[in-house]
Amino acid sequence: MRNTILLTILALALLVPSMAFAEGENGCAPEYQAVTDSALVKLQGTGDMDITVVTDPLCWHCRLGHKLLNEEKGLYRTLSIVFFPRKQFIGSDMAAWILEDAAGTDSLQAKVDFAYKHLKQPKTEDLGEARDIVLTQFLFQFPEMIGENETVDDLSARLEKNNAPHVLKTAELCRTAKIPGTPILIAGEYVLLGYGAGPWVKAMKTKRFCK
């Protein structure tokens, strides 16, 4: 019985995302501001603080962060989304290309929500195949993505040509800022590594604006 309880506690602990304030880091520092400034995808809240999330659409903890930020729109004015595709989430770079391609359009919010709520991780180790699987899922939900007389291969090539260079650039900015992974929340002076609902909300409510 005792072993069963201990195993249950351990299993629950493994489900809780790790989160920590980045000691000695300031979200207003130039390297973090460069990351924020690189964001093309921006969503609006109803608050008065601008925040940034460094994220990967197929990262589970990033999805928890997305859910929270959708529920707490009163805590921020602008949410800047910076994509930092991780190798373990194969094909997520295609999702980033699609979302950046939708920046400034009426479909952006719906596509972001689809990516973080419903997009399934491709079950393949082949990068090209994984990208195709991600694109197919988006096309099933948003068939208008494909242009007249455009094939799926044409669309894939267009998305890569128009958006891959910028996603690679932002990934390099993240590495320059020594961002170790996803998700990362930058809320004024605060930099939070990983996801934690309480700390994220507290950081936004504290409003440590950049001066």
The helix/strand/coil state of 152 is helix
Q: Tell me, what's the pLDDT at 11?
A: 36
DSSP state of 90: T
Q: Tell me, what's the pLDDT at 17?
A: 44
For the chain, the structural domain boundaries read 15-206
- Mean per-residue pLDDT, 135-156: 97
pLDDT, tens digit, 9 for 90 and up, residues 25-75: 899 999 999 999 999 999 999 999 999 999 999 999 999 999 999 999 999
Determine the Cα angle at 56 with ends 98 and 160, to 5°.
30
Q: Tell me, what's the pLDDT at 211?
A: 83
Query: Among 3-7, 71-75, 196-200, which stretch is predicted with the lowest mean pLDDT?
Result: 3-7
Pairing of β 41-44 and β 50-55 = unpaired
Rounded-to-integer distance, Cα 23 and Cα 109, Å: 33
Report domain 15-206's class.
Answer: alpha beta
Rounded-to-integer distance, Cα 196 and Cα 13, Å: 13
Token pair recorded at residue 75: 């805590």
Q: How far is CA 101 from CA 107, 141, 146, in A?
A: 10, 16, 12
Q: Look up residue 60 and give its amino acid.
A: W
